[in-house]
C-alpha cells in the first residue's frame, strides 16, 4: 500500500520583483506593488508531498524527523529572514518569484534527497509555495 504525505513548513522572507533590463515604468506595470524599491515581505508556507509505500516495521512512509532535517537545512535555513534578492545566491540573477522559488526548492531537495532519506526514500511528488492567502504555486514532479 502506498500513501501520500504532506508536511507544511513556514518561513519569513522579503524580496523585490524587478528586472534590470526593464525600465522603472515597465517593472512597475509588470510587478505592481511587488516592485517596491525597498522590497516587501511574506510569511511563506511550503508544502512538501511525498509518495511511497508504508514500511511494515515502522508503519511510516517517511521518517518525518529526516524529512524535517532536510527541509530545514535546504529550505528554511536558506530562506528564513532573508532578503531573497541579496542574501540568496539563486536569486542574484533570477527574479525571486514564487515560481522560481518552487523550482529552487525542488533543486535543493532533489540534490540531497537520497542522502538524507535513504535508498528506500519515498518519491518527492509535489512542492507548493504559498506566498499569500491569494497566491501560491504548485509544482508537480510526477507526470
The answer to whether 42 is a known catalytic residue is no
Please compute the mean of the pLDDT values over residues 30-56 and round it to a whole number.
95
Neighbour order of strands in the sheet with 2-15: 82-83, 2-15, 40-53, 123-130, 136-140
For residues 120 and 68, what is the distance between their CA atoms, to the nearest angstrom? Answer: 17
Q: Are strands 82-83 and 2-15 parallel, antiparallel or unpaired?
A: parallel
Domain count, the chain: 1
pLDDT at position 74 is 98
Range of the domain at 18: 2-140
Q: Residue 5 pLDDT more than 90? A: yes
- Which residue of the set 18, 34, 74, 108 is catalytic? 34
The answer to whether 34 is a known catalytic residue is yes
Q: Residue 143 pLDDT more than 80? A: no
* Average pLDDT over all residues of the chain: 96
The answer to whether 18 is a known catalytic residue is no
- Which residue of the set 24, 40, 81, 99 is catalytic? 81
pLDDT at position 21 is 93
pTM of the model: 0.94
Q: Residue 98 pLDDT more than 80? A: yes
CATH number of the domain within which 94 lies? 3.30.479.10
Amino acid at each position: 500500500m502506498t500513501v501520500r504525505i504532506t508536511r507544511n513548513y513556514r518561513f519569513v522572507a522579503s524580496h523585490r520583483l524587478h528586472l534590470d533590463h526593464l525600465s522603472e515604468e515597465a517593472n512597475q506595470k509588470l510587478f505592481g506593488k511587488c516592485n517596491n524599491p525597498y522590497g516587501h515581505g511574506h510569511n511563506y508556507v511550503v508544502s512538501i508531498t511525498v509518495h511511497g509505500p508504508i514500511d511494515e516495521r515502522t508503519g511510516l512512509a517517511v521518517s518525518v524527523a529526516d524529512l524535517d532535517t532536510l527541509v530545514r537545512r535546504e529550505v528554511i535555513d536558506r530562506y528564513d529572514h532573508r532578503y531573497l534578492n541579496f542574501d540568496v545566491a539563486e536569486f542574484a540573477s533570477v527574479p525571486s518569484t514564487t515560481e522560481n522559488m518552487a523550482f529552487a526548492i525542488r533543486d535543493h531537495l532533489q540534490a540531497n534527497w537520497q542522502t538524507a532519506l535513504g535508498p528506500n526514500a519515498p518519491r518527492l511528488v509535489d512542492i507548493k509555495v504559498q506566498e499569500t492567502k491569494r497566491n501560491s504555486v504548485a509544482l508537480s514532479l510526477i507526470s
